[in-house]
Amino acid sequence: MGRHGFVRLPLTPDIETVNVGVLDQMAGPEGSIELSGMKVLGSGKVTRRLSVSAAGFSATAKDKIEAAGGQAVVV
């Protein structure tokens, strides 16, 4: 009786995450980074112009990248 109406939700794939503060350190001199299958989160500071392509961006991460003059592209 206790299982009436119970629906199991499908499992979501595990997506790796990275913060914008780490991206600022990872980027080469040209500031271009390609992250396939990763989501960028907004913790940290962006101190230079970055061009980042990733599977997803949080709203804060996208705002920080664009405020520094860079671009955030969803692949």
Q: Domain spanning 16-74: which CATH class is it, in words?
A: alpha beta
Is 0.85 surpassed by the pTM of this model?
Answer: no
Give the sign of the dihedral formed by CA 70, CA 68, CA 30, CA 53.
Answer: negative
| The predicted structure's pLDDT at residue 1 | 57
Q: What is the pLDDT along the chain (75 residues), one digit of tens a residue?
A: 566 777 778 877 778 999 999 998 888 889 999 998 899 999 999 999 999 999 999 999 999 999 999 999 999
Using only C-alpha atoms, what is the Rg of the chain? 17
Q: Where are the domains of the chain?
A: 16-74
